Amino acid sequence: MSFLSDIKKSPPPFSWDEWYESVGGRSINIEEADHILDKIYNDQYHRFDGEVAPVKHKFNSPEEASELLKQKALEFGADIVGICEIEPTDIYKGKTVTEKFAIAVGQRMLWREFQVVPSRESAIECLRIYFTLGETVIKLAAYVRSLGYPCKIEHPIGDSDLLHIPIGLKAGFGELGRHGSIIHPELGPLFRMGSVITSIEMKCDKPIDAGIAAFCDICKACRIYCPAKAIPDNRDPKAGKDHLGYDRYVVDTGKCFPYFAKNNYCSICLPVCVYNHKEWAKDFEGHQTKLFPEIIMLEPPPPTDIVPEENKHYYNKLNR
């Protein structure tokens, strides 16, 4: 199984600074969001490494290792956890990964913060989840080291060596939606993921086929509500296959990013997705929520194409 195998090579890491520069700089100013970013870069990033215990814990089988590490990931705050083998196509161009397996962890985002999108609340939630998930991978990595095994952290915020999406698909987290995010059968698309990578021999999970990706061919909710018209009508045979063998839908980053960067990380395509479970719209923990969010669709800024070709992820310009 080799996701993106038709492209033959991995994309470069997403160059946030270049993309922001291409739209005239950062224009989202939310003190609480900046505070979370500060905690991630100036606190969490310094807690990525640690001593590896000198004696290796002996597992009786790969199954036993998987079971223990998954149970620990859940204890450390993951809502979902899965394990997969790392392939060369999962690694960003120019990065080196020597570990064999990824323990992928996901946490659901709070539906109540997406009642209006884009909004200050949804923007803060987009960053809050990176912080809490960051704590989960840091604790899990410390646990792996305490068993005598080295490991590395792939932080959810994006400065990682691995592409989170193919790792999540292979770890059984869900299927790739038209909007480019993974849809989990229970969590829907409102979750984020990171991973801890290690060479402990573990039993791997399998990708799932629950009919979710196929349903995207009928449903176009995210495409209809995308204010930048960045989500395509059709699958693109040139974009490579997803893990089920379907041609992928390719979101046009050059159209999405200007809207995303100027409108509180947009995120409209996630809460409008029909796979959000509406039982979350009940009154939880005293928070009254709606079945469907209020959506603010403004005129999109002009698309950007000035990021150098070699630093772009593949995207389709045909419908411009």
Helix segments in the chain, DSSP class H: 16-22, 31-42, 62-75, 120-146, 164-170, 212-215, 221-225, 253-262
Segment contacting ligand SF4 (CB under 6 A): 3-11, 21-29, 215-223, 240-248?
A: 215-223
Using CB under 6 A as the binding rule, whether residue 315 contacts ligand SF4 is answered as no
> 314 near 11, Cβ under 8 Å?
yes
Using CB under 6 A as the binding rule, whether residue 177 contacts ligand SF4 is answered as yes
* Contact set for ligand SF4, span 229-258 (CB under 6 A): 230-231, 251, 256
Using CB under 6 A as the binding rule, whether residue 215 contacts ligand SF4 is answered as yes
Angle at 268 between CA 128 and CA 127, to 5 degrees: 10
Pairwise CA distance, residues 256 & 231, whole Å: 8
- Return the residue of 69, 197, 226, 250 that touches ligand SF4, per CB under 6 A: 226
Pairwise CA distance, residues 255 & 257, whole Å: 6
Which pair of tokens denotes residue 7?
């492209």
Closest CA to 181 of 227, 214, 220, 213: 213
Segment contacting ligand SF4 (CB under 6 A): 36-44, 135-143, 197-205, 222-230?
A: 222-230
Q: Kindly state the number of chain residues that form the binding site for ligand SF4, as judged by CB under 6 A.
A: 25
Measured from the CB of residue 170, what is the shortest distance to ligand SF4 in angstroms?
19
* Contact set for ligand SF4, span 261-300 (CB under 6 A): 266-269, 273-275
Closest CA to 181 of 203, 204, 156: 156
Segment contacting ligand SF4 (CB under 6 A): 68-76, 221-229, 286-294, 302-310?
A: 221-229
Using CB under 6 A as the binding rule, whether residue 74 contacts ligand SF4 is answered as no
Pairwise CA distance, residues 45 & 50, whole Å: 12
Measured from the CB of residue 122, what is the shortest distance to ligand SF4 in angstroms?
11
Measured from the CB of residue 231, what is the shortest distance to ligand SF4 in angstroms?
5
Looking only at the bridges linking them, the beta strands covering 294-295 and 116-117 are parallel
Which residues are at the interface with ligand SF4 (CB under 6 A)?
A: 177-179, 215-216, 219-222, 226-228, 230-231, 251, 256, 259-260, 266-269, 273-275
